[in-house]
Each structure stands twice: as C-alpha cells, then as structure tokens.
Amino acid sequence: MITLDADKKIAKAKTYLILKHPFYGSTLLSSVVREDNTVQTMATDGSSIFWNRAFVDSITEQEVVGVFAHEVLHILFKHALRMRGRVHQLWNIACDYAINHILKRGDFTLPEGALFKDEYSTFTAETIYNKIRKDMSEPPEPPTKGKGDEGDDGQSTPSDGQGNPQDQGNQPSESGGGSAPQPQGWGEVIEPKKADGSALSESEYKLAEADADQKLLNATQHRSRGDIPSELHGIIDQLLEPKVSWHDQFDQFIKGGDNRQGWTETKYNVIRHRTTGVLDPVVDRKGVGHIVVAQDQSGSVHDKELVRGFTELNYLCEDLKPESVTVIPFDASVNKDKVQFFDQGEEVEKINIKGRGGTCVQPVFDFIEETGIEVDRLIIFTDMGIFDYPKVAPDYPVLWVNVSPTKSEAPFGQTIRVDQ
C-alpha cells in the first residue's frame, strides 16, 4: 500500500470534498488552507484552516477528509467567533460535542478519540459548555465497592480509549465527577486575532461573522442538487434565520435589558473611619434582585428544553448572584404546594412534576399579586399554548421562554425560543 505524504493527502482530501461533498468543499475553496506547524493538529480561527505536517502524516487519507469537514463545521457554526473569552479548552470540547455527531451521521471517518455524546446531539455549544462547567463544579460521588474496577456498569475506564465510542473523550459522569472531559486531541478552535496578536474590535467581529454567513449561503447553493447533507437541513435553516441566539437574549434580559436598575447591596467597612468613627458604606456589587421563574407543567411541555433553559439560568445565576429565585409551577392553576424558594448561591432546580392538563398563565400573575412577591424579573418557561394572557402588562419585565417548536409570541414582554 502506497502511503502519501502530507501535501498529497491535503490536496486529495480537498478534491474529494469538493467533488463528493460540495457543501463542505465550497467552504474549503473560500477559506485559506495553509501549513502551520505551530498548531498541534488542525485548527481554525473562523476564516482560515491551519494544518500540522506531522499530524497529517500520522492519520489516514479518509481521516484527513473527516478533520477537514470538522473544521468546516467550526467555521460555518462560527465557533471561533462565539468563543468570546470562554475557557479555551472547555469551549473546544463543547464545540466538538456539538458537531461530531453530524459528521458521524454523514459517515465521515474521524481520528481516534473523537468526542460523542448522544444527549448533546440537539444542544448548542453554549449549552454544552455551561453543562460541562456545572458538572465540574459538583463534587464527585464516592465510588461503590465492587463496581467500577471491573466495569460492571458497562463502561470502560475513560482514559483507556477503548469500548463504546460514545464514551470516548474522558467525559464527566452524569452525576458530576468534578472534572472536565479531555479534549479529543485534534481539530482545534482558536479565537481570531489581528495580525499583531491583539483582539478583534466589535466591528471586525461583525465583518468576520458576515463572512461566515456568506460562506454558509454559498454552501447552500447546492441545495437544488440535493447535495446538502440531510443531517444538516434543519440546522442550516436555523443558522440562516436572522436572529440573536436565545442564549444572548436570555443573558441580556437577566442582566438588565430594560430600564430597571436591579438592586444594590450595601455593606459597611469593618474598620471605622479614623476621624469620624462612623462606619463607611461601600457599594459591594450590583445584582439583579429577585428573579421569579414560572414553570409550565402542562403535559405538552418537553422536559429536554426545560433542562436546557434551567441550565442556562443557573450559569447566569452563578455569575450574577441574584438576591433570590422563586420557582412557581403551573398548568391550569398554580401548584401552590410545590412553589420553591432558592437563596443566593443555591442551584435553581426545575420542579419534576407533571400537570393535570392545559395551560393558563393568568393564575401566575394573580399568585404574584396575592402573595406580594417582589419581582425584579419574571421568566416564564412555557410551550406558548396559552389562551388567557393578561389584558394589562405588569410593571416588571417579563421574559417568555418558548420551549416548543412553534414561533408564537406573547402580546407583551420579550419572547425567545429555545432552539439550536
């Protein structure tokens, strides 16, 4: 068997993608592809693809094709541009989980150690990143005697590289585990920089995003010939839809995308003022006050989308530390016995009960008024199957988080849809 050198492997892989997978090939044609031995394997900054000679020499021709396709998806999904100061290693892991399942369904061959996890197959990189961070913050469960050492649970030791490919990558356990999965060792996303190594300005980010959008549009020109991979149809439609990601909208709402100023906690110095003897008040920090979360428990609400929404909520609460959070479950009425209160720093958990039928939201607003709960932000997780919207909007900001595929919007407040 003849083994090609790195340059020939690169040339053949590019030609193969252009001819056999034009969706991926068109992006390769419009991207700079060059050797750069400062990267360990292959990498992209969102516009160029860099490859390391020793790495390409070490893998097969079909694996080069697979890694090229991997980097193309990083470009089209704008993963480098979406990094925005996140932890580099964790962001790379999250992005790999977000795209490798697509390549697997497309029958691409990937090098050993590719990260896969079925539960992440419908999640965005941001959601996966937040979940990994959450898993890392939880203490590991103590080992159970008689299990684990011999693999009684059907899973191999994470670092051995053997067993079910779903478990490759040294992933965190479902119960936490306190450590991050290990990166797959190839196909890196690097944050884009200027030629002098400085960060891009906001206007430069927008230009880079527009360039990525154009590459995606160019790739979709093959749709009429049936060359768009079936596993990408729905994702492409969402990527081409002009919108701000639901993560960013959620973030902006909680941080105060309205005219309310949130709350300010004032603490007093322990040491009295030397001359007056009076304790000096100092502003310790500014937060978002009291968040009320209304959780639709009707039978039509899917648990998966609720989990994604609550994961995002907890990630933001870790950073912003609201004064407190109240979770109100409702369907046709408020389940008053199941209302839960969370103090600052506590993890906000969704309530695991199923409702008795339809969805009526007016009881939520009535409950808030009757109990006198102070509301700085009201977030309502619902499938939008609502027919009793209040006729008058409340005097506090409301965010409707649509966890269904429909594009329904509430008559007041802000509506976002949990999607890809």
**CATH code of the domain covering residue 339:** 3.40.50
Same domain, 28 and 120: yes
> Are 167 and 159 contacting, i.e. CB atoms less than 8 angstroms apart?
no
**What pLDDT was estimated at residue 269?**
37
**What pLDDT was estimated at residue 263?**
35
- Of 209, 226, 242, the one marking the end of a domain is 242
Burial 344-355 (b: 16+ CB within 10 A, else e): eeeebebbeeeb
In this structure, the number of other CB atoms found within 10 A of the CB of residue 96 comes to 31
- Taking 70 as the pLDDT cut, the residues of the chain under it are 1-3, 138-181, 183, 221-245, 257-287, 299-306, 308, 350-358, 419-420
Residues 6+ away with beta carbon under 8 Å from 65: 13, 16, 17, 108, 109
Pairwise CA distance, residues 175 & 123, whole Å: 19
Same domain, 399 and 275: yes
Do β-strands 377-382 and 290-296 pair in parallel, antiparallel, or remain unpaired? parallel
> Are 27 and 76 contacting, i.e. CB atoms less than 8 angstroms apart?
yes
Same domain, 357 and 387: yes
Closest of 226, 234, 236, 231 to residue 101, by C-alpha: 231
State which residues form the domain around 409: 249-417
* Phi and psi torsions of 50, nearest 5°: -110, 140
Q: For 99, what's the count of Cα atoms within 13 Å in the CB-facing half-sphere?
A: 26
Q: Which helix (H) or strand (E) holds 268?
A: strand 263-268
Same domain, 235 and 176: yes
Q: What is the DSSP string of 19-60?
A: HH-HHHHHHHHTSEEEE-TTSSSEEE-SSEEEE-HHHHHHS-
Flag whether 178 is in a domain: yes
**What pLDDT was estimated at residue 243?**
52
Same domain, 257 and 234: no
**What pLDDT was estimated at residue 209?**
84
SS3 (DSSP) at 381? strand
Pairwise CA distance, residues 379 & 252, whole Å: 13
Flag whether 378 is in a domain: yes
Flag whether 150 is in a domain: no
Q: What is the DSSP string of 277-313?
A: -PPPEEEEEEE--EEEEEEE-STTS-HHHHHHHHHHH
Burial of 86 (0-12, 13-18, 19+ CB in 10 A): middle
Which residue in the block uniquely carries the two structure tokens 């969370």? 342
Same domain, 175 and 305: no
**What pLDDT was estimated at residue 140?**
55
Residues 6+ away with beta carbon under 8 Å from 145: none
In this structure, the number of other CB atoms found within 10 A of the CB of residue 56 comes to 23
pLDDT in tens, 52-73: 999 999 999 999 999 999 999 9
Same domain, 195 and 237: yes
Same domain, 398 and 302: yes
**What pLDDT was estimated at residue 352?**
66
**CA 156 to each of CA 159, 178, 392: distance values in angstroms, whole numbers, following the listed order:** 8, 18, 58
Q: How is residue 220 annotated by DSSP?
A: G
Closest of 363, 342, 252 to residue 290, by C-alpha: 342
**What pLDDT was estimated at residue 397?**
93
**What pLDDT was estimated at residue 303?**
64
Same domain, 300 and 221: no
Q: Which long-range contacts (CB under 8 A, 24 or more apart) does 395-398 make?
A: 396/260, 397/253, 397/257, 397/258, 397/260
- Of 194, 221, 242, the one marking the end of a domain is 242
Flag whether 1 is in a domain: no
**What pLDDT was estimated at residue 210?**
83
- Of 226, 242, 258, the one marking the end of a domain is 242
Orientation angle between helical segments 303-320 and 125-137, nearest 10 degrees: 60
Same domain, 195 and 332: no
Same domain, 198 and 261: no
Flag whether 202 is in a domain: yes
Which residue in the block uniquely carries the two structure tokens 């509430």? 410
Closest of 101, 96, 94, 99 to residue 128, by C-alpha: 94
Flag whether 149 is in a domain: no
Number of domains in the chain: 2
**What pLDDT was estimated at residue 273?**
39
Flag whether 44 is in a domain: yes
Flag whether 148 is in a domain: no
Same domain, 31 and 138: yes
